[in-house]
């Protein structure tokens, strides 16, 4: 038998064996027959030339059984004349697979059963056949065999340039994994790499799933996938292949453009070359593209996206890199020499025609100019371009905006508001203030409005105009409204329990609250709480809350009114839909917008409008509260014209709860 060495190619041995006597008659080496004058037994010859190279004790046991005299005679007796075996061997730290072919026949002279045995190295052929079943490309960076029993790995192919690994040599598996990890895997992924390549983990995973795959980032910031297959499960041998999947992961499947990851890497490489050119990053999106998908279907929507890519890449911008970030959002990296702002309006308006459909497409674009001194990551540059897009005031006049630092400062402030909300509530940084509402005739306190103040420290209170709009736009206002509602309810409950004076307190609800089943459920529980009179619950809503009101939200408010709760509409007269809101929904009280109140006496027209609003409310059986009352002249005008209640600095400013309660106590 000829076994593979580093220098030799595939070699063969052939034996002529007397099976009946169990002796070797001749050995064929390199085409020459050599008689075996010593009459060496078959068992001894196989022990010296074959069995010694068995890869595992289990392989040795199997080979001794298959190549024994008794086994071969039995096979002959059963009519077998042609036998083929595959043997897994190890020689000089190399994994081998040998094919043993045996032809059995009877010597007509002696009557003995004899055999011709051919032993050939089929390692590469076998490896190719097995790997072809699991490999879909030939450009893999690593291919190796692993013996789980012996805990060794043999690299058949290795293209890791940063590591010196000897091919076709058996080396300890753990040592190889640590070598690859330390020199080839990115530091952020090294711990994960070692855990995923751990032999104990591998054995368990392969037994359960039959395959194991994971991806990590290399020191070159490429993405590499490592996949383990069973090479020969009976021998506990695995096949490991690694392939570079960077391009696969960095390509958008629909357009063929780079995705976000691909854009970040490619632009980063351009910027690292430190060219004299000036660059900019442009972030695009198509207005109301979801409606196009809903109306015409996703197939047509995809065709439109591909056409947009074609238009963009052939435009005057001449993008160095164009990428699809997600959905209908694209980004382009351009030389500023090609960025002609006077042509952007034309670029961002495109008429799509396909013979059956005509669609007018309008895009928006945020622009970030990359300065020579810029130290930002490409990802941060993209974020700034995207942020600029949000500052487009009129997309039909100028559908693009250029980033400046004030945008980031405002964005960061808004982000801090949202991030700090939970913590601020836990630290009691939010406080409920109460502004009394006075009866216009008696000038006695009849109710109050609950207002919220954010006081992280006494010297730096955060104005409501700074955080309320941010929380409303982000949808986080519901948490704050829940806090205010709970605080007011607890104050009323406690004073009622102590026999103290209580008055109705109006709590503001946002449009988001009327979409949130949790807060609506809690308010409904409060209204049904027998310990607090229903008359103590007032809820204020702005006109904007009704613009997006759901059916469940409308039913919720109607249910509250039926229970005896008062519903107020705030800032009445400030919106364009004031009258339609009053027409379509039921209210108990309207609160006149302070803009009208503060202009009392400035013109006859303003005064007449205010008088008309008060008369309209009364004709619809609604009471009227005037907000922002600050002067005696305003109170006299409002009293004269039938306003029911006053709220404003002329009577009382918003005050902390303890001051409000002290005021109520003095009223007794």
- State the Rg of the chain over Cα: 42
Q: List, by residue range, all CATH 3.20.20.450 domains of the chain.
A: 415-667
* Tally: H helices and E strands in the chain: 24, 27
- Rounded Cα distance, 73 and 19, in Å: 7
Residues of the chain with pLDDT below 70 are 1-12, 29-33, 36-38, 92-94, 127-139, 161-162, 168, 575-578, 668
- Residues 6 or more apart in contact with residue 224 via CB below 8 angstroms: 141, 215, 216, 217, 218, 242, 243, 244, 245, 246
CATH architecture, range 251-403: 2-Layer Sandwich (3.30)
What was the pLDDT predicted at 7?
A: 31
Three-class secondary structure assignment of 65-105: HHCCHHHHHHHHHCCCCEEEEEEEEEECCEEEEEEEEEEEE
pLDDT of residue 584: 80
> Helix 477-497 vs helix 405-426: angle between axes, to the nearest 10 degrees?
30
Cβ atoms 101, 80 nearer than 8 A: no
For residue 359 the two structure tokens come to: 């669609």
What element of type H or E holds 483? helix 477-497
Q: Give me the residue label for tokens 């190295």.
A: 121
Within the chain, all domains assigned CATH 3.30.70.270 are found at: 251-403
The pLDDT score that the predictor gives to residue 579 is 76
Cα–Cα distance, 480 to 425 (Å, whole number): 8
d(CA 390, CA 396): 14
- Given this model, what pLDDT does residue 632 score? 94
What does CATH list as the number for 135-248?
3.30.450
173, 146 contact by CB (below 8 A): yes
| Parts of the chain belonging to CATH 3.30.450.20 | 9-124
Q: Do you know the residue count of the chain?
A: 668
Q: What is the pLDDT of residue 9?
A: 44
Q: Are 241 and 133 in contact (CB under 8 A)?
A: no
Contact 436, 445 (CB under 8 A): yes
* Helix or strand run (H / E) with residue 494: helix 477-497
* Helix-, strand-, coil-residue percentages of the chain, each rounded to 5: 40, 30, 30
| Cα separation, 226 vs 218, whole angstroms | 12
> What's the topology of domain 415-667?
TIM Barrel (3.20.20)
Burial (CB count within 10 angstroms: exposed 0-12, middle 13-18, buried 19+), residue 328: buried
Can you point out the beta strands (E) in 108-197? Answer: 113-121, 142-147, 152-158, 170-172
Q: Judge contact between 398 and 318, C-beta under 8 A.
A: no
Backbone angles phi, psi at 115, to 5 degrees: -150, 150
CATH topology of domain 9-124: Beta-Lactamase (3.30.450)
Q: Which residues pair with 352 in a beta bridge?
A: 359
């Amino acid at each position: 038998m000829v076994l593979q060495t580093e220098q030799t190619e595939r070699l063969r041995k052939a034996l002529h064996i007397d099976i009946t006597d169990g002796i070797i008659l001749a050995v064929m080496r390199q085409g020459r027959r050599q008689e075996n004058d010593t009459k060496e037994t078959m068992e001894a010859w196989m022990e010296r030339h074959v069995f010694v190279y068995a890869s595992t004790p289990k392989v040795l046991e199997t080979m001794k059984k298959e190549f024994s005299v008794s086994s071969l005679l039995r096979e002959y007796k059963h009519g077998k004349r042609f036998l083929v075996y595959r043997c897994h061997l190890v020689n000089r730290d190399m994994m081998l697979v040998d094919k043993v072919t045996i032809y059995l026949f009877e010597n007509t002279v002696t009557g003995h059963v004899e055999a011709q045995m051919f032993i050939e190295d089929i390692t590469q052929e076998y490896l190719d056949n097995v790997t072809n079943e699991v490999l879909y490309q030939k450009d893999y960076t690593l291919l190796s065999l692993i013996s789980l029993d012996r805990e060794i790995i043999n690299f058949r192919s290795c293209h890791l340039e940063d590591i010196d690994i000897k091919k076709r040599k058996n080396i300890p598996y753990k040592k190889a994994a640590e070598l690859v990890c330390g020199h080839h895997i990115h530091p952020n992924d090294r711990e994960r790499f070692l855990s995923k390549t751990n032999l104990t983990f591998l054995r368990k995973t392969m037994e359960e799933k039959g395959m194991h795959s994971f991806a990590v980032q290399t020191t070159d910031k490429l993405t590499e996938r490592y996949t383990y297959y069973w090479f020969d499960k009976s021998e506990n041998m695995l096949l490991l292949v690694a392939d570079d999947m960077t391009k696969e992961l960095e390509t958008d499947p629909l357009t063929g453009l780079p995705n976000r990851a691909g854009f970040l890497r490619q632009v980063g490489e351009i910027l690292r070359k430190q060219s004299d050119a000036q660059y900019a990053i442009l972030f695009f999106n198509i207005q109301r593209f979801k409606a196009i998908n809903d109306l015409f279907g996703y197939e047509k929507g995809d065709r439109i996206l591909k056409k947009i890519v074609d238009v963009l890449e052939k435009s005057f911008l001449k993008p160095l890199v164009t990428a699809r970030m997600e959905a209908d959002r694209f980004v382009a990296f351009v030389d500023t020499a090609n960025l002609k702002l006077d042509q952007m309006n034309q670029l961002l308006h495109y008429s799509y025609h396909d013979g059956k459909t005509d669609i007018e497409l309008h895009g928006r674009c945020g622009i970030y100019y990359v300065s020579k001194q810029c130290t930002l990551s490409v990802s941060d540059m993209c974020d700034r371009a995207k942020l600029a897009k949000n500052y487009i005031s009129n997309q039909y006049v100028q559908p693009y905006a250029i980033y400046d630092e004030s945008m980031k400062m405002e964005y960061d402030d808004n982000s801090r508001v949202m991030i700090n909300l939970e913590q601020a509530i836990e630290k009691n940084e939010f406080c409920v203030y109460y502004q009394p509402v006075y009866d216009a005739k008696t000038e006695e306190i009849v109710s109050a409005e609950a207002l919220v103040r954010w006081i992280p420290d006494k010297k730096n209170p955060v104005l409501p105009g700074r955080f309320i709009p941010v929380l409303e736009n982000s949808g986080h206002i519901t948490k704050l409204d829940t806090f205010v509602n709970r605080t007011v309810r607890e104050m009323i409950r406690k004073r009622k329990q102590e026999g103290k004076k209580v008055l109705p307190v109006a709590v503001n609800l946002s449009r988001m609250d009327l979409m949130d089943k949790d807060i609506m459920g809690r308010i409904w529980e409060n209204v049904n709480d027998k310990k607090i009179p229903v008359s103590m619950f007032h809820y204020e809503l702005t006109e904007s809350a009704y613009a997006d009101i759901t059916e469940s939200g409308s039913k919720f408010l109607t249910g509250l009114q039926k229970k005896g709760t008062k519903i107020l509409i705030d800032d009445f007269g400030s919106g364009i839909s004031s009258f339609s809101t009053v027409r379509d929904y039921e209210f108990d009280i309207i609160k006149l917008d302070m803009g009208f109140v503060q202009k009392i006496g400035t013109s006859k027209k303003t005064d007449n409008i205010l008088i008309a609003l008060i008369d309209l409310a009364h004709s619809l059986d609604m009471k009227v509260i005037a907000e922002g009352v600050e002067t005696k002249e305003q109170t006299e005008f409002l009293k004269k014209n039938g306003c029911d209640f006053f709220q404003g600095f002329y009577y009382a400013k918003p005050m902390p709860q303890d001051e409000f309660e002290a005021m109520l106590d003095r009223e007794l």
